[in-house]
Structure 1
């Protein structure tokens, strides 16, 4: 290798080493505000692993300084950005516990709900995180009804409740297709009672009527279909419900006919 190239390579390596040393020495001399500014730049660049390291340093080194709650919040945010939602929840909660009056406390409360929301899987899987997210967003709305994020919290609640209702609907449909109509009806009732304001409630009411029909509980089936037609007259299932009501009316009338005949015969004897 030519001597000139060797000198250039050696100079480059030396420059990198000195630059690295200078950077480390520089951080040692930073005060709390300067260190936070440095860490925040790492965060803003998307270097979340480096940001986590630096915000941790601030929290430990400058304990008691007013900048610490800022660092604690962005430490949680860095984990959130990394998709480390359980760790993020822990760090947001630490902010709420240690710095309840921090300007970031309200945001931390909202982001705990968001972390659970992010961890909630597709409807057919376990939905404990969805339930936790709903609870956190509900608490947020109750405690901060006028906050600008309240509408977002409500939107996430509606979305999560639909997911929870969908999980119940999957179970109900599975039982119905297996011919387990009583078990299916139980799940339809849960949807109608707990998730009455979701789109799944529309279908739950109709299919509850079908299950009651299969169980030969004709009077209750008639009531279910009548309620469906009254609430959703323009729904695509409404015509099916009306046809079922006609058939049920015939069945109910025919089942009463023998009773009337026996009564008439008894009265004639008397």
Structure 2
């Protein structure tokens, strides 16, 4: 019984494959369209794509083109070829602005670019593109049911970019390039007022200024310690109750001791 069932399944499989190959090799586009549609509905995207690629040019301008082009773009999306999915959904939006599927296409185009966004340490060109497309979606469809989800994606990508910018500043501090670290932290604070890394940026700027001061030539130490102290005051103004306050206070105590020593030395001289 099992052997008979296996033979039947195999026979159906080979008939199916044979029929697919027959349609794939034929010149008639109507059977290709019908089979591509059927395979797409079954989730057999790779096979459907082979057929679609043969007939997409032939259906341009025809009534079936709208459905075909949407399936074509969505097939790339389901195959996780997000570059082509994003591009094809954009083309669909441009070609069929009055389609019932245009809002979904706009969302999936933006979502495709979101999927292409790499980890924060890499080049963020695709992240910028994703942010642009996501924002365009929100602007164009302010009442969309996808709005909350899209806003969350925007927030996630912005935080990724902030993390990259913050880590660049932190890396300057780690390699003892204190002037570059101070400048990078200052730019971060100015450019990202609502960032989750803002507290750490304030502290990083203070720490970098302190280390710059204590590693300076004697003639510059006092002035730079005073500058570092001003950065402490900025940190405390916003984050007096933070988990970094104890570390900041410890550095401040050392600054005050060094300034007192500088003052005493100057008085003796």
Q: TM-score, normalised by structure 2?
A: 0.76
1:236 pairs with 2:252:
no
Alignment partner, residue 86 of structure 2: 89
Alignment partner, residue 169 of structure 1: 166
RMSD over aligned CA atoms reads 3.6
Alignment partner, residue 218 of structure 1: 225
Q: More deviation in 198-207 or 50-59?
A: 50-59
Q: 1:22 to 1:133 in 2, by over 3 A?
A: closer
Contact kept? 1:92, 1:108, Cα under 8 Å: yes
Q: Mapping of 1:94-113 within 5 angstroms?
A: 94-113=91-110
Larger Rg: 1
Shift of 1:256: 6.7
How far apart, in 2, do the equivalents of 1:67 and 1:29 lie?
12
Residues 76-135 of structure 1, C-alpha deviation per residue, up to 9 Å, x if partnerless? 111112121111122112112211222222222222222222112211111111111111
Residues 16-71 of structure 1, C-alpha deviation per residue, up to 9 Å, x if partnerless? 3897289849x969699x83xx5444234321112223444664444334442232
Alignment partner, residue 227 of structure 1: 234
Where structure 1 has 5 or more consecutive residues not aligned to the other structure, the ranges are: 1-7, 263-270
Shift of 1:210: 0.9
Alignment partner, residue 15 of structure 2: 16
1:181 pairs with 2:188:
no
Alignment partner, residue 216 of structure 2: none
The number of aligned residues is 248
Alignment partner, residue 268 of structure 1: none
Q: TM-score, normalised by structure 1?
A: 0.75
Shift of 1:199: 1.6
Where structure 2 has 5 or more consecutive residues not aligned to the other structure, the ranges are: 1-6, 214-223
Q: More deviation in 140-149 or 104-113?
A: 104-113
